[in-house]
Structure 1
């Protein structure tokens, strides 16, 4: 019985809050959506160099280990410098 009363009160509160805000106009609905290109520029952010995850660093290390020169440079100057010198910019 208590559950039914609580459920009824919650439903009543939801209905009254919807009535207080009133129906939304079409312009308010249109403001919720943006163009795909605009959304992708907002969401997609470039990372600064050196902010790679451990998985990304490991994949670079695996590629670099296949080349003996790159592997030697990796040991002395670091994985990012070695990968960039032998294979170009990091693809991530």
Structure 2
């Protein structure tokens, strides 16, 4: 019975805290939102798609999982290469630090 009472009390407290957080954030939510005009968003997306298309054209055709894993193992030794692999992709990082992909 004590466990049930404690559980109900915790539920009531959590509901009160959630309701209190929701009301304070709704008053300043318009200042936290970011809006971009439609034409600017369209231009940014076109640039991003063009960059993705050129990177895909420069990359070798469909490496297998085993080949990608071997590139990752080589790149793990160099911290800069590993960081670039996380941000730009393993093929781009390997090419930048070690030259063209051997397979």
Query: TM-score per shorter chain, which class?
Result: 0.3 to 0.5
Larger radius of gyration: 1
Give the TM-score, by structure 1 length. Answer: 0.47
**Normalising to structure 2: TM-score of the pair?**
0.42
The structure where helix makes up a greater share of residues is 2
